Amino acid sequence: MTEVDLADWGARRRRRFAPDRWGTLVCRAVWDETADMRSFFLTPQDGSRIEHASGQFMTFRIDTPEGRIERCYTIASSAARDGGIEITVKRQAGPGARWLHEMLVPGAEIEALGPSGRFGPATWHGSAYALIAAGSGITPMLSILRTAADRGLDLDVVLMQVVSTPQDLVALTELDSLARRLPRLVHLPTITRGPGGTRPDADFLTRVMPDLATRTVLCCGPQPFMEMVRVAAQAAGVPDDRYGEESFDFSAPPPEALGGGDTPRRTVTFARTGHAFECAETTTILTALKQAGLPLPSSCARGMCGTCKTFKHAGEVVMAHEGGIRQREIDRGFILPCVSRPLTDIILDC
């Protein structure tokens, strides 16, 4: 008979998975949500617990046949349960997602960094919420609802779940059960294809959510969908401080100003290798570094995933990140070169 480890049953407090260092997670279970959406339950290999807020994500290091990539996936599980995390991934979401579907089986290991990110009620406050999700954008919303139910919060929330066909609705049965635990949850499944399919445009949004202006709106889905929701929310009167969105479309990083001849330039030096290169004040350090042919691991190029995090020994930068770095890491001297522009000469720990 196997001896029971009390820590497995929550009888002992385990230490926390370090969010600012790459660590190893072990896949414990895999199951299909729909024909192309698969969920994975992962726990830290060292027995620590992952502490996260609803709406946060983790960055995963994936060795595909084409090479190493980093990808972010939102945590779908409840933040009230810290034994491990659940992610739900659409197969067609790119090479990282394909690898997960094919290779991440129970017992397999994967490197992860985080949790990170500021999407969710911990950042976007409100007394009532509109959660608007398209496709796999449902995953942070599931975490928010699961957490609210586990914590016994009487959340006033409308969930719009936009999918192509009824077969694409993730967690349909569970959402019914969540609605019993969250009496003010209104679930609006919205099917876009087939006879009677709905076009989820601004008119539709304000028709089915006439009180949109009074809610904090959280939106996750493809970029064009989020743009439509953002414009509709603004037109309905939702202020900027009550509208949050999240996307992991890394295919098109924001356009980069390269700086003309009269733009002040700063010298960026690598403390370990002695490499040095020029970077205009309007250019991100990552862009200048790539132009100089120097390597630095990076993924999203928008300050979200944390992959490029680097210690800065000296100098000042202006950094506009999207949750890929914590305040206490900034206080300790770390920066994200992909969204940092130099104000002075810089020395990095590379």
Tell me whether residue 135 or residue 323 sits nearer to ligand FES (CB atom).
323
Q: How far is the CB of 302 from ligand FES (least distance, A)?
A: 6
With contacts defined by CB under 6 A, name the span among 27-35, 199-207, 271-279, 302-310 that binds ligand FES: 302-310
Binding test (CB under 6 A) with ligand FES, winner from 131, 307, 315, 342:
307
- CA–CA gap between residue 335 and residue 322 (Å, rounded): 12
With contacts defined by CB under 6 A, name the span among 149-157, 185-193, 233-241, 304-312 that binds ligand FES: 304-312
* Size of the residue set binding ligand FES (CB under 6 A): 13
The residues near 250 (Cβ < 8 Å, ≥ 6 apart) are 71, 299, 300, 301, 302, 305
Q: How far is the CB of 149 from ligand FES (least distance, A)?
A: 32
Q: How far is the CB of 161 from ligand FES (least distance, A)?
A: 28
Tell me whether residue 54 or residue 298 sits nearer to ligand FES (CB atom).
298
With contacts defined by CB under 6 A, name the span among 31-39, 165-173, 239-247, 306-314 that binds ligand FES: 306-314
Tell me whether residue 194 or residue 295 sits nearer to ligand FES (CB atom).
295
- Please check whether residue 311 is in contact with residue 334, taking contact to mean a CB–CB distance below 8 angstroms: yes
Q: How far is the CB of 132 from ligand FES (least distance, A)?
A: 25
Whether the link from the prior residue into 65 is cis, omega within 30° of 0, is no
Tell me whether residue 215 or residue 309 sits nearer to ligand FES (CB atom).
309
With contacts defined by CB under 6 A, name the span among 146-154, 174-182, 274-282, 299-307 that binds ligand FES: 299-307
Q: How far is the CB of 221 from ligand FES (least distance, A)?
A: 20
- Please check whether residue 82 is in contact with residue 142, taking contact to mean a CB–CB distance below 8 angstroms: no
312 Rama sector, left if φ>0, alpha if ψ -120 to 50, beta otherwise: beta
Radius of gyration of the chain (CA): 22
Report the first-to-last Cα separation within the chain, whole angstroms. Answer: 51
19 part of the interface to ligand FES, by CB under 6 A: no
Give Cα separations from 120 to 9, 133, 211, 229, 294 (angstroms): 28, 13, 20, 17, 36
Q: Which residue has the tokens 């895999």?
A: 30
Binding test (CB under 6 A) with ligand FES, winner from 301, 319, 335, 348:
301
283 part of the interface to ligand FES, by CB under 6 A: no
For residue 101, report the phi and psi dihedrals to the nearest 5 degrees.
Answer: -60, -35
Tell me whether residue 18 or residue 320 sits nearer to ligand FES (CB atom).
320
Whether the link from the prior residue into 121 is cis, omega within 30° of 0, is no
- CA–CA gap between residue 77 and residue 4 (Å, rounded): 25
E-only strand ranges, 192-246: 216-220, 243-246
| Tokens standing for residue 236 | 């309905």
Binding test (CB under 6 A) with ligand FES, winner from 104, 175, 191, 300:
300
DSSP reduced 3-state for 90? strand
338 part of the interface to ligand FES, by CB under 6 A: yes
DSSP reduced 3-state for 226? helix
115 part of the interface to ligand FES, by CB under 6 A: no
216 part of the interface to ligand FES, by CB under 6 A: no
| Binding-site ranges for ligand FES (CB under 6 A) | 298-301, 303-308, 324, 336, 338
